Structure 1
Amino acid sequence: MFDLNTIKKRYFEIKMGEQILELEPPSKKMLTKVTALSNIKDGKKATDGLYEAVEMILNKNSANKKISEDTVADLNLDQVSGIVTAYFEWLKQTKDSKN
């Protein structure tokens, strides 16, 4: 019998101020939603979608720590964009790795 519980979990570590979060890989449902939010082209909707995507990413953490909408709203656009870019790069690297 194949036991899913034996699969080693992987986490993306991110430091925000003094806090370190271990972010989990997304489920298919979350990945679809984050990708859709990140790809909106209409000005304000694109910005709102990017911030919403980051909030979803940050809230899928190993400690189940709730990151508030206000905390994410306090990040500047460069920080938000950096989080999304680094997270997706990590997903690609871990997907491409042999282990």
Structure 2
Amino acid sequence: FENLSFMPMGGGSDEAARSGSGNPIAAMLGPIADFYDNSLIVVDAPPCLANSDPTAFAAIVGQIVLVVEAGRTRRREVESALDILDSCSHISLLLNKVTSKGGGAFGAYS
């Protein structure tokens, strides 16, 4: 894809969280958003319920795509994640690892 950039969030470092800034995620992403004005920025964030402060993302992003694993993620976990992320006004769910039972095709009706 033309003009697609990827920036991994990294892991294991709490230095930004210890820096004393109000929202270290916003402090990091703000300049990036300014640099890529009128662009879509995709951030691969840690799992919502495993992260210490997922509300930091929810407060500054325009949309969240919550990935839900079929057959593994429980309904109450999805509901808890949605409650945590409620400060973001646009939340979509992406159901992955769905297995087909066969016999069907996209757009086909029984």
In the superposition, the TM-score normalised over structure 1's length comes to 0.27
In the superposition, the TM-score normalised over structure 2's length comes to 0.25
Rg: which structure is higher? Answer: 2
Determine which structure has the larger helix proportion and give its number. Answer: 1
